[in-house]
Amino acid sequence: MAIYEELEIDQGSTFRYQVDLTTSQGSAYNLGGFTLTSSIKKNYKSTTSAGSFALSNPSAGRILMEMDDSDASNIAAGRYVFDVYIEAPSGERYRVIEGMVTVTPSVTQQ
């Protein structure tokens, strides 16, 4: 089951969010060799992506979700859905993070 998060991104600002994946015993998952992908869409049925997060996956079970200021400027203000998948070297895919993201409008940067 994926972790559910409600995120907020300010248009024109750098965004960073860290998620630590741990086992039920509290130890970090080893994500070495895994591939990470993400997508942000207006709704679950959208066929086009409004954006995505840059993802890094150190082997200590830590996923860093990032978006630079120019990418954050290119997403229209509003509410969106997002998810993050990891893919093992064997090809197995898992959705590990999902939820809502609100992009707040900027007065200075438009």
pLDDT in tens, 79-103: 999 999 999 999 999 999 999 999 9
Kindly indicate the confidence band of residue 6, based on its pLDDT and cuts at 50, 70 and 90: very high
Q: In what order do the strands lie in the sheet with 35-41?
A: 3-10, 93-104, 78-87, 35-41
Kindly indicate the confidence band of residue 75, based on its pLDDT and cuts at 50, 70 and 90: very high
Q: Which CATH superfamily is domain 3-104 in?
A: Immunoglobulins (2.60.40.10)
Whole-structure pTM value: 0.88
- In the chain, where are the structural domains located? 3-104
Mean pLDDT of 29-52: 92
Sign of CA dihedral 69, 72, 76, 78: negative
- The token pair at 8 is 């907020």
More confident residue, 72 or 109: 72
pLDDT of residue 106: 86
| DSSP for residue 2 | P
